[in-house]
């Protein structure tokens, strides 16, 4: 106890007193302690009584409603309807960073640009007299005959009723002109070309063989004349029509030789005049 060693003022020996005052004091302190203990027990009993009731009321109380955003709920609710197709959230587009042009960089690029000269092939117009047309014809050859006038650079296909279909042609250059009568022995579309040995001797850079195509010198169609090396054929150089430029063949524009190709057959008579 806190006051057990209280000194008696009536004695001067300094010994602890064990008289009635000490007993009264101890009882007083003990009485206070017992009272506090009983209060503690009462409070504990009340807490034990009300705690389960409070816990039960909290446990069985109605929880507050959960509120969701319509943006999160509506797509899923719509999918519960009969016959409704699933709805998927569209991916969010990512914003792209916008890069502003750098004026200094553009100036440097413009300064590095060098002017360039581009070669342009001039368009060559064909003289009207070498375009296809129908003319009057009163010559000795029968309809269906091809007559080639190498001096005037024209090919005629004789037709019925004193008419003839006329085309412009290119003919053999000086030293390669010829005349004679032959028949068409073969027809070919986009023919391949095998330069004859004599031509390869004159032009060593020529290939031994060239597949048919737009760049092939024989052009789109070819009509072979008997056993000769001559042909009536198209050309990849239409501006040469009306000139004496070939090695003896009769050349036509591709569109013109295509037209003639459909009008004649193997066995057609061909007369070449000088």
Q: Both tokens of residue 45?
A: 């009993």
Q: How many Å apart are CA 151 and CA 171, to the nearest integer?
A: 9
Catalytic residue numbers? 233, 249
Half-sphere exposure of 87 (CA within 13 A, CB side): 13
d(CA 165, CA 255): 14
Per the listing, tokens 């090695």 go with: 247
Give me 189's structure tokens. 């579309």
d(CA 171, CA 210): 22
**Strand 171-172 with 244-246, pairing:** parallel
CA angle 162, 253, 168 (to 5 degrees): 40
Q: What does the alpha-carbon distance between residue 104 and residue 18 come to, in Å, rounded to a whole number?
A: 108
- How many CB atoms are located within 10 Å of the residue 263 CB? 12
Diameter of the chain by CA atoms? 182
């Amino acid at each position: 106890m806190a006051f057990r060693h209280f000194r008696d003022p009536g004695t001067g020996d300094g010994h602890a007193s064990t008289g009635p005052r000490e007993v009264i004091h101890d009882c007083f302190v003990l009485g206070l302690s017992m009272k506090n203990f009983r209060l503690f027990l009462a409070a504990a009993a009340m807490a034990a009584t009300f705690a389960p009731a409070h816990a039960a009321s909290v446990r069985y109380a109605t929880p507050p409603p959960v509120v969701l955003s319509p943006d999160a709920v509506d797509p899923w609710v719509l999918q519960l309807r009969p016959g409704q197709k699933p709805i998927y959230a569209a991916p969010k587009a990512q914003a792209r960073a916008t890069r502003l042009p750098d004026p200094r960089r553009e100036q440097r690029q413009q300064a590095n640009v060098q002017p360039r000269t581009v070669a342009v092939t001039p368009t060559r117009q064909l003289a009207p007299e070498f375009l296809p047309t129908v003319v009057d014809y009163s010559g000795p050859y029968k309809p269906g005959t091809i007559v080639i006038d190498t001096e005037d650079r024209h090919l005629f296909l004789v037709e019925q009723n004193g008419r003839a279909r006329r085309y412009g042609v290119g003919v053999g250059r000086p030293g390669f002109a010829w005349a004679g009568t032959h028949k068409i022995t073969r027809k070919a579309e986009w023919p391949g070309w095998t330069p004859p040995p004599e031509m390869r001797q004159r032009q060593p850079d020529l290939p031994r063989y060239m597949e048919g195509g737009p760049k092939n010198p024989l052009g789109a169609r070819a009509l072979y004349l008997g056993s000769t090396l001559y042909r009536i054929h198209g050309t990849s150089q239409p501006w040469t029509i009306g000139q004496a430029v070939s090695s003896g063949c009769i050349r036509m524009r591709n569109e013109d030789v295509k037209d003639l190709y459909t009008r004649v057959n193997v066995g057609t008579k061909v007369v070449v005049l000088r």
